[in-house]
A and B are shown apart, each in its own frame.
Chain A
Amino acid sequence: MRAASALLPASERRWVMIDGNEAAATVAYLASEVIAIYPITPSSPMGELADAWAASGCPNLWGQVPRVVEMQSEGGAAGVLHGALTAGALGTTFTASQGLLLMIPDLYRIAGELSPMVMHVAARALAAQALSIFGDHSDVMAARATGVAMVASASVQEAMDLALVAHAATLASRVPFVHFFDGFRTSHEVARIQTLALDDVQALIDDQLVRGARARALAPEHPTLRGTAQNSDVYFQAREAANPFYLATPTLVQQTMDALAARVGRRYRLFDYDGAPDAERVVIAMGSGARTVRATAARLVAAGERVGCLTVRLFRPFSVHHFLAALPPSVRAVAVLDRTKEPGSAGEPLYLDVVAALAEGERSIRAIGGRYGLSSKEFTPAMAKAVFDALAAERPKNHFTVGIVDDVTHTSLPVARDFDLEEPDTVRAVFYGLGADGTVGANKSTIKIIGEHTDRAAQAYFVYDSKKAGSLTVSHLRFGRRPIEAPYLIEHASFVACHQFAFLECVDVLKVAESGATVLLNSPYGPDEVWSHLPRPVQEALLAKQLRLYVIDADRVAREAGMGSRINTVMQTCFFALAGVLPRDEAIAAIKRSIEKAYGTRGHSLVEKNWAAVDRALDALAPVSLPAEVSSTVGMRETIPDTAPTFVRTVTRELLAGRGDELPVSALPPDGAFPTGTARWEKRRIADAIPVWDADLCIQCGKCVLVCPHAVIRAKVVSPADEAGAPAGWRSVPARWRDMPGQRYVLQVAPDDCTGCALCVEICPVKNKAETRLKAINMQPALPLRETEAAKWDFFLGLPDPARPPLHLHQVKDVQLLPPLFEFSGACAGCGETPYLKLVSQLFGDRALIANATGCSSIYGGNLPTTPWTTNAQGHGPAWSNSLFEDNAEFGLGMRLARDHQRDYARALLERLADRLGEPLVRELLAADQTTDAGVAAQRARVAALRERLALIDDPAAAELAAVADALVRVSVWIVGGDGWAYDIGYGGLDHVLASGADVNVLVLDTEVYSNTGGQMSKATPRGAVAKFAAGGKPVAKKDLALLMTTYGTVYVATVAMGANDMQTLRAIREAESYDGPSLVVAYSHCIAHGYDLVHGLRQQAGVVASGAWPLFRFDPRRAREGKNPFQLDSEPPSLPFKQYAYNETRYTILASADPAAAKAALAAAEADIRRRWQMVEQLAGRTGGAA
C-alpha cells in the first residue's frame, strides 16, 4: 500500500513541480471516499491520477482507499456522486466542458439537498459553432445557476490551496462547491509550488463536520425521504429555505481561507485587491487571466498610474458585501473581464454581477465589460494594458473584446504589442519539437531538475498542434530567481531550440528569439556547413538579432548511443550546457540522476544508453561562426499554391502558417460551416521513407490501396493515350482486367502526404522470388524521391477516373479504382480507423451525410486547419458534421428524418406539378430504382432535368420543389464514432436509433479504448488489457455490442476486421448500406493505444480474428424474410492461441510484466470468454462441430 504521504508530506511542506490537475486532484483524493470519473479533456489527468493512486493502494485522510469508479458518461458520474453523497460519503468528481453540462441536472439536485461536495473543473470552452478542447469559462458559467458555490483558482499553487478551501468550506456550509481553474493554462501548466502538508489538510477538514454529513445520510436505520415531488403550495417556500446556508457561505469560505493562511502563510480573500491604494481604474477578472492583470497593474503602478486589479476567487455565492469592501473607495471606473460569451445577453455573467453589486452598493463607478481568452486565446500583459488604457478613455468602449481583431461589429480594443513584463534575468526558453522525438518529456524532466533541486522558480507550458502524426510541439519554459507570474506564452525568448531541422523551412522558429538569444539547432550539417543549408529568412534573423547559434547532430548521437530516434536526452543535455541555468557539471550529474530515476525500472542498459547519450551530446555540441552576409536564396516553403480556392488561400494558409491568431473576425464563417477538401493543400512531408511500386512484381490486387490509412496510394486504369506527356520515371503495366483490354494500370504514391506508416508494404501479398524481403511495394528514403514522385502524383491526379458502372464493386480489386473522398487526414501514421472511413467514402461518399461522434474521428475529420473529407470531380462528396460525443446516433437520425421528410415533400410537390413537369419525368423520378450506383446516377440526371424544367415554371410550388429536389436522390446516412461513444456514453441513443427502424448506417470504429483522450477503459476494452482506469487489467469481458443488436432481428449487424478479411469487410459495408433499415458495422481498429508499432496493425487484426476474440459475422434481416438463417459466421474456429495474438501488444504484456499472476488469470479467463462466445456464434450460425 502506498502511504498517504506519497501524495503529500506528513508535516513538512516541500517544493515540487506539478501541474494544476495534479495539485487539485491530490487534495480531492485525500478528502474523498467515492470518486466518480469520466474522461474529458483537459480534466482527464485528475481522474487518471485518482485511479492510479487507488490502484496502488494509497489511502485518503481516514486511512481508507477511496472507491474510484469510471462511469459511462459524466451524467453517470454525477448520478453516482449524488447517490454517494445521499448515502453519506464524501465524494468528488473531475470534469470540464460538455461533461459539466451533463452534470448540471445532478448539480441542481445536490445543491438543492445541501449535500457537501466538491467538483474540480478544468474550465473549457463549450461546443458552439465548433468544438474546442481549450480553456475558458463557458462551462462553469453554464453551471452558475445550479446553486453550487464556485471557487476560482488562478495558478497551480492556488489549485492546491483553494481545492482544500473548497473541501473544507463545503463541509462547513453544506453548499456543494465547484472548484475551477483554467483548462490547459493552469491544468497543464507545470509550476514550482509549495505543497500543503497532510497536517494542513487534516487541520482544515473538520472531522466533526464530516461526521455531521455522515449522520445526515439516507439510511434504513434512521429512514428519511428525499427527492419528493412538491406541489405549487410549498415548492417556492422550500426553495427559499436554503437561503441561510448561502448567506453564510462567503464568510465561511473567508474563514477557511484565513485558517489556511494561518498555517501556510498564503493569504487569499474572496475578492483580492492588488494595486494602488488610491486606484481610479480597476480591472476585475477571474482565473489565470487575473494574474496577468495583476502583474500588469503592478508595472503600471510603478510607472505612477493609479490602477489596480481585483481577483475574484469566490464567484458564487457572489458576496456583494465582500466585493464592495474590497474595492478601494477611490475607484472611478472598472472593467470586468469575462472569459466566456453569452450571446444575446446584456453582458457576460461576471460583468452583470459587478454592475448589480455596484448598483446595490450605490457606488458611482463606471463599469464596462469585455471578453477575452476564449478557447485559450492568449491573454498577455499587452492586452491587459489595453484594457487599462481603454478604461482611461472619456467614453470607454463597453462590451469590448481584447486579443482579437473584430472587424465585423468592431468590439476589439487596440493592443500595443510591444508592452511586456518579462524579467531580463529570467531564462525564457522555447523548444520546437516533434511529438515523437521526446522533446516535451525532456522538458518536463528539465523543469523537475531545476524546480525540485534548486531554489529557482520554474514554469513550463506546452503547445501541441492538431495532428496526431508528425505533430509539432512547442515548449515554453521559464526559470528565474523570482516567482514567475506569467500565465502566457513566451514572446521574447532568450533561448530557442529547434529539434528538427526540417521545421526551419516551414515554421518561423526564430520569431520568438530576442536579440542576442542562444539558438540550438539539431542539424545533420556540422558547424562549418550548416549556414549554406539555412533558408534565407533564418539567416536574416540570425544576423539581424545577433543570435548565437549552436548545432548538434542529435539524430546521429542518439543513434550511436542506441537510442534510435529519441533525441530527447541529447537535446536536454545541450540545453543545460548552453542555458547556464545550472553549473554544467552539476547539471549533467542531475540529468544522469533523473535518467536513472526515470529508466531504472526498465533495465540497466536503458539507463546506460541514456547516460552515453549525455556524454556524447556534450562532445558533439558545436558553436557556429556566422558570416557577415546573408547568402541563401531559398525562402520558407510555401505549401499553398495560388491556384487554391480563395478560402484556402486567405484563411487556411494563415492557419497553416501559424498566423491564425491574426485572422480578423470577418475571415471566419459565423455559423461554423467550412468548405471541405482542404487537406489536399496541406503538403506536410512528414515521411522519411515512402513506398515505391515494383510494377513488374505487382499483381494489381488493390490491397495496398485499400488499407492505406491516408489515401496516399491510388490506382487507376487508363488508356495508353492518357499517358501522353507523362513525367520522367512514369511506370504503367498492362491492366489485369478482362473487361479492360489494352488498358494500362498505374499505382502512384503521394510523396508529400504519405506518413510512412508502411501498412501498404505489410499487406502486399507478393514477394520477390530472388530476394524475399522485397515485395511489390517497398519503403525507400523519401528525400531523393520527392521531386519525381510529386510530379508523377500531379500527373496521376489529372488522369481520368474510371466510370463506376462497369466496375465490380464487390471486389477489392475494383474498389481500388474508386477515388477516395477522405484523404490525407491528420490521423496517426498507420491508423486503424481511417481505412474504413475511406472505403465508405469511395463507395458512397458522393451521396453521404455523416454524423460523427466526438473522438479521434471527429478530430482527424474536422479539426482545423484542414479536413480530409473532400469531393469528386462533379463536386459531390460527404457532408459531415459533429454534434456532441453523447448524441451522435440521435444526430444522425435527425439528418435521416429531415432528408426523408424533404423527399416526401418533394414527391408530393412532384405529383402536384406533374402536369407541368411532364408525366414521364415525374413517374421516373417517383419510381426510380436507386439500389445501384447506376440507378443513383440516373436519378441525379433526372433531378438535373427537373431543375431545368422548374426554372421555367412560375409557381411558388416550383420554387419549393427546387429547394428540396436533391432529396429525391437517395442519400446514405452514416453515423460514425468510436467505442467510447457506441458502447458507453452514446449507447442509450444508439440503441434507440437502431430500434427505430430508420435507414441509417452506423459505423463503430472500435479501438477498444478511449483513444482520443489518451487510452481510458471503455466497455469495449477486452478482459486483461491494461488501460487508464484499468491499471490492473480490465477485470470483465468486453461488451458484445454487435451480438446484442442482433437480438432486435430488424437491424443489419456485422463485425469486420479489414486486416483479417478485406472481402468480408467490403461485403458487410455494402450490405449494411443497401439494407433499407438500421445497420450496425463494428469495425476492429488497431490503435496506438494498444502499444505496438502500427506497421503490424493488419497482422494483429488477422490475429485477433484467428484467436477467436473477434469473430466475423453478418446478421442480415433480409435473409430471415427469405427463410434463411440471418446469421452468417464468416470466420473460422479459433486457430491461434489468444496469448500468441495478445502478447504482441503492450496493453497485455504490461500486465504480464507487472503482475504475472494476474496476467495469467486474465489470460485464462479471456480464453474461456473466447470459447463461450465462439460456441454461441456457432450455434447462431447453425454450424455444428468445430470445437473452439
Chain B
Amino acid sequence: MIDLSTRYLGFTLPTPLVLSSSPLTEDLDTVRRGVDAGAGAVVLPSLFEEQFEIEGHDLDHHLTRHAHSHAEAVTYFPDPADYALGPDAYLEHVRRVKAAVHVPVVASLNGVSSGGWIEFARSLEQAGADALELNVYHLPSDPLRTGAEVEGRYLEVVRDVRRHVSIPLAVKLPHFFSAIGNVALELTRAGAQGLVLFNRFYQPDIDLERLEVVPNLTLSSPAELRLRLRWVAILFGRVPADLAVTGGVHAATDVLKAVMTGAACAMTASAVLQHGVEHLGTVLGELRRWMEEHEYQSIRQMQGSMSQQRVADPSAFERANYLKVLRSYAVQPRPPVIARP
C-alpha cells in the first residue's frame, strides 16, 4: 500500500496534492468534490484587504457623489447603511468549507495596513481556518523604495500576524527578490512555518489595435514549474519551514518533481480549471502508478531526495547560463556532503 500522506504546517495531509488558492475554492461544492477526488488540503481564495478598501471607497464615492444635490432626489440608492462591506461573506465561506471537508482548510490573506492584516487574520482564525497563508505580494513600482524596505515590510507583517494568531502560518512568496534564500530564512525567523513558492500575477498585455494596456492572467504551464523546483531544492534543508510548490503543477510527474526537490505538497489550480476538479483524482492515480512502478512506498520517502543538498550535482541548481551548461559535462561533481535536514 502506497502512503501518499505528507506533513504540512503541522498537519498530516492524506495526499500531497493541494487545491490551490483560486476561484475554484470560492465554491463549496467544488471544494467538496476536490477533496473527494483526493485533495490533501484546500487553500481558499485570498481575502484582499485592498479589495475591501477599494470597494469601500468605490461604494462610498458612488453612493454619495450625487447625493444631497437636488431637491427631488436627495439620494439615488437605498440606504447605504444597509450595504455593509466586509469579510463576513468570506468568513462564512471559511466556516462552511471547514464544516464540509475533513482535510485542513488554509485561508489566504492579502492585507494592506498593519491593522488590516491583524484584524483579518484573527477573524480567519476565529472562523475556523486551520492555517493561514499570507499572500504578501505587492508591486514596488516606486523607484525610491529599496528592496530592503520591501522585505522589511513583509517581515513586519509576518511578525505582527504571528503575535496575534496561533494557527500555523505559511507565506506565499513572489520570486522577485535579490536573495530569495535569505528572505525565506528571515520569514521563518519572523514566524512562518511554511513557504509557498511562488505566486503568479496578472501581467499586462498590449492591445495593438486599441492601443490599450490589457491586464491578463493566463493559466500556468508546466514550464513554470522549473523555477519553483530550483528554489525548493535550494531551500530544502536550509530553512526550517515546510515548502510548498504552486504554479505549473499539472501532472503526476510535476507532483513527483516538487516532492523530490523538497516540497511537502504541490498546489494546483490551472490544471483543475482546465480539466475540472476530478482531474485531481487522475493525477493522484498516475502518481500512485508511477510510485508503484518505481517501487516507492511513500511520499515521505522521496521528499527532498532531489534537493540541492541530496543530489549528485548540487551546482546544477545554481547554473544560470548557457555557457556553463555547455561545459558542465566535462567536470565531474564532487561527491555530495550528506546532511539531513
A residues at B contact (CB < 8 Å) = 41-42, 44-45, 48, 51-52, 55-56, 133-134, 184, 188, 435-436, 438-441, 444, 462-464, 468, 471, 473, 564, 566, 599, 601-606, 767, 772, 828, 859, 1011-1015, 1026-1028, 1031, 1088-1089, 1091-1092, 1146-1147, 1149-1150, 1153-1154, 1156
Contact = CB atoms under 8 A, between A and B. Distances in A.
Contact of B53 (A435, A603, A1147): A603
26 contacts: A41-B71, A56-B82, A438-B68, A441-B68, A468-B70, A471-B70, A473-B69, A601-B56, A601-B84, A602-B57, A602-B60, A602-B85, A603-B56, A603-B57, A605-B113, A606-B60, A1014-B72, A1015-B73, A1026-B78, A1031-B79, A1031-B82, A1091-B77, A1146-B62, A1147-B77, A1149-B59, A1150-B83
Given A1015-B76, A1153-B85, A468 B56 contact: no
Query: Which among A436, A603, A772, A1011 has the highest number of chain B CB atoms within 10 Å?
Result: A603
A1013 B77 CA distance: 11
B73 A1146 contact: no
A1150 B66 contact: no
Contact of A1014 (B55, B61, B76, B84): B76
A968 to B, nearest CB: 41
A603 B76 contact: no
Interface centre among B70, B112, B116, B212, by most A CB within 10 Å? B70
Interface of B: 52-53, 55-79, 81-86, 89, 112-113, 115-116, 119, 211-212
Contacts of A859: 72
Contacts of A1027: 77-78
A606 B83 contact: no
A435 B71 contact: no
A1012 B72 contact: yes
Going nearest first, the 5 A-B pairs with the smallest beta carbon separation are A435-B69, A603-B56, A1014-B73, A440-B68, A602-B56
B72 A1150 contact: no
B82 A55 contact: yes
Contacts of A772: 211-212
A184 B212 CA distance: 49
Contacts of A1091: 62-63, 76-77
A41 B62 CA distance: 22
Nearest to B206: A772
Contacts of A134: 71
A606 B60 CA distance: 9
A41 B78 CA distance: 16
Given A605-B56, A1146-B58, A436 B69 contact: yes
A859 B70 CA distance: 11
B189 to A, nearest CB: 29
Contact of A1156 (B63, B78, B89, B212): B89
Contact of A601 (B74, B75, B85, B211): B85
Contacts of A1149: 55, 58-59
B78 A464 contact: no
Contacts of B68: 435, 438-441, 444, 462, 473
B115 A604 contact: yes
Nearest to B83: A1154
B59 A1146 contact: yes
B69 A1028 contact: no
A1153 B73 contact: no
B65 A436 contact: yes
A605 B112 contact: yes
A339 B211 CA distance: 63
Q: Which of B60, B72, B79 has the most A CB atoms < 10 Å from its CB?
A: B72
Given A599-B60, A1015-B76, A828 B71 contact: no
Contacts of A1088: 65-66, 76
A435 B89 contact: no
Chain A CB within 10 Å — which of B66, B82, B85 has the most? Answer: B66
B71 A464 contact: yes
Contacts of B72: 41-42, 44, 133, 859, 1012-1014
B59 A1150 contact: yes
Nearest to A769: B211
Contacts of A606: 53, 56-57, 60
A566 B60 CA distance: 11
Contacts of B211: 767, 772
B197 to A, nearest CB: 30
Contacts of B75: 1014-1015
B56 A1150 contact: no
Given A601-B86, A602-B56, A1028 B77 contact: yes
Nearest to A1031: B78
B60 A1146 contact: no
A529 to B, nearest CB: 31
Given A52-B82, A441-B67, 15 more contacts: A48-B78, A184-B71, A603-B56, A604-B116, A1012-B72, A1014-B72, A1014-B73, A1014-B76, A1028-B77, A1028-B78, A1088-B66, A1146-B59, A1147-B77, A1154-B83, A1154-B84
A435 B112 contact: no
Nearest to A562: B57
Question: Among the interface residues B71, B81, B119, B211, which one has the most CB atoms of the partner chain A within 10 A?
Answer: B71
A1174 B88 CA distance: 37
B210 to A, nearest CB: 8
B215 to A, nearest CB: 13
A34 B17 CA distance: 57
Contacts of A1013: 72-73
B25 to A, nearest CB: 15
A627 B31 CA distance: 74
A808 B79 CA distance: 50
B73 A1012 contact: yes
Contacts of B53: 603, 605-606
A585 B175 CA distance: 50
Contacts of B67: 440-441
Contacts of A133: 71-72
B194 to A, nearest CB: 28
A1157 to B, nearest CB: 8
Nearest to A1092: B62
A828 B53 CA distance: 28
A1155 to B, nearest CB: 8
Contacts of B62: 1091-1092, 1146
Contacts of A52: 78-79, 82
Given A772-B211, A1088-B76, A471 B69 contact: yes
A17 to B, nearest CB: 15
Contacts of B77: 1015, 1026-1028, 1089, 1091, 1146-1147, 1150
A120 B12 CA distance: 67
A249 to B, nearest CB: 35
A12 B295 CA distance: 79
Contacts of A605: 53, 56-57, 112-113, 116
Nearest to B213: A772
Contacts of B89: 1156
B59 A602 contact: yes
Contacts of A602: 55-57, 59-60, 84-85
Nearest to A1156: B89
A1014 B71 CA distance: 10
Given A464-B71, A603-B56, A435 B66 contact: yes
A44 B56 CA distance: 27
A49 to B, nearest CB: 8
A438 B64 contact: yes
A564 B62 CA distance: 13
Contact of B82 (A184, A473, A1154): A1154
Contacts of B71: 41-42, 133-134, 184, 188, 463-464
Given A41-B72, A133-B71, A603-B52, A828 B66 contact: yes
Given A1031-B82, A1092-B62, A435 B113 contact: no
Nearest to A767: B211
